Amino acid sequence: MTTPAPAALHPARIHPSSIVEEGAQLGHNVEIGPFCHIGSKVRLGDNVQVLSHGVILGRTSVGAGTIVFPNAVLGCAPQNVNYKGEDTELIIGCGCTIREGVTMHPGMADSGGKTTVGDNSMFLAYSHVAHDCHVGSNAILSNNVMLAGHVTVGDRVIMGGGAAVHQFTRIGHHAFIGGLAAVSNDVIPYGMLNGNPGVLMGLNIIGMQRSGFDRPSIHAVRRAYKTIFDPASPIRENIARVRAQTDLNPAVADIISFIDAESERALSSPARGQRG
């Protein structure tokens, strides 16, 4: 039996006006448009596209199939007065869309040294991912969203245009952040936050439905939300009531685990209350 021939591998296509420093690692079928600058420690996966005037520097890796639009700047030094040129990393997953003017910075050496982005996330024009942030997969940061340092954004989070997130804040998976929101406290998974200062406005039910959550799970999260943020009792007492359930739904368990985790920030609530 004849062994099939391997698929053809195509070398990178680099516009003659661009600079690709010696040492850069380029996967198959990479395309680098005009007037780009790719640094010596950069790694680009297969089928990555960097359109005109894209700049990727530092120890930055970009996963297969990601497209970087004009004037995006990835991997430049963190905007932190304590950065002294340490060899830290920016790691971007596969299939991401990074639109015009987006900036992403590597981590700080004293905080793990890595900024990470998951797969299939979308960063609209002029959004910013600061040092030591960790953004999940299938997230969307709309135009001009600003993440300060050490922010964690879970999978399938959607952030409206101009939203700003305080350093060390956590945003749980499937949360929805409204446009121009000021996010200074942690946002629970499935939470929907809006305003300045940011206030929980309910649950991202549409996002849960789009992700395939069944009706019992959605109802369980709704009940847990009402119990946790019942103003008649402190949040910690309310959480204990939810945790005592013998048939705790996995989606509800995610919320409890998120609240239980150590954090530098308080917890966003419908009443702007602090962690109970």
Q: How confident is the model at residue 8 (pLDDT cuts 50, 70, 90)?
A: low
Quick one: average pLDDT of 98-118? 98
* 132 noted as active-site residue: yes
Cα dihedral 146/149/153/158 (nearest 10)? 0
Same domain, 25 and 139: yes
Query: Which residues contact residue 161 at a Cβ distance below 8 angstroms, ignoring those fewer than 6 apart?
Result: 124, 142, 143, 144, 145, 179, 180
Same domain, 133 and 228: no
Q: How confident is the model at residue 271 (pLDDT cuts 50, 70, 90)?
A: confident
Residue 118 lies in a domain: yes
For residue 49, what are the domain limits? 13-150
The pLDDT > 70 percentage for the chain reads 95
Same domain, 111 and 230: no
The pLDDT > 90 percentage for the chain reads 93
Residue 195 lies in a domain: no
pLDDT tens digits for range 206-240:
999 999 999 999 999 999 999 999 999 999 999 99
The confidence score (pLDDT) of residue 157 equals: 98
- CB-neighbour burial class of residue 28 (10 A; exposed 0-12, middle 13-18, buried 19+): middle
The answer to whether the bond into 197 is cis (omega within 30° of 0) is: yes
The confidence score (pLDDT) of residue 245 equals: 87
Count how many domains the chain has: 2
Same domain, 39 and 121: yes
Quick one: average pLDDT of 162-182? 98
Per the prediction, the chain carries an average pLDDT of 95
Same domain, 143 and 238: no
Query: Which residues contact residue 226 at a Cβ distance below 8 angstroms, ignoring those fewer than 6 apart?
Result: none
pLDDT at 273 over 60: no
CA 21 – CA 40 distance, rounded (Å): 5
Nearest to 130 by CA among 109, 154, 114, 118: 114
pLDDT at 25 over 50: yes
* 162 noted as active-site residue: no
* 149 noted as active-site residue: yes
pLDDT at 113 over 50: yes
Cα separation values, 176 from 5, 21, 199, 205, Å? 47, 40, 12, 10
The answer to whether 60 and 78 have CB atoms below 8 angstroms apart is no
Same domain, 120 and 213: no
Considering the candidates 53, 105, 128, 131, report the single residue annotated as catalytic.
Answer: 131
The confidence score (pLDDT) of residue 1 equals: 47
Residue 269 lies in a domain: no
Out of 2-6, 216-220, 254-258, which region has the weakest mean confidence (pLDDT)?
2-6
Residue 84 lies in a domain: yes
Starting at the edge strand that comes first in sequence, how are the strands of the sheet with 164-165 ordered? 19-20, 37-38, 55-56, 73-74, 103-104, 128-129, 146-147, 164-165, 182-183
Considering the candidates 136, 149, 172, 198, report the single residue annotated as catalytic.
Answer: 149
3-state DSSP assignment of residue 235? helix
CATH number at residue 141: 2.160.10.10
Q: How confident is the model at residue 246 (pLDDT cuts 50, 70, 90)?
A: confident
Considering the candidates 119, 132, 155, 254, report the single residue annotated as catalytic.
Answer: 132
Quick one: average pLDDT of 74-92? 98
The confidence score (pLDDT) of residue 276 equals: 38
CA 241 – CA 53 distance, rounded (Å): 55
In the chain, the amino acid numbered 175 is A
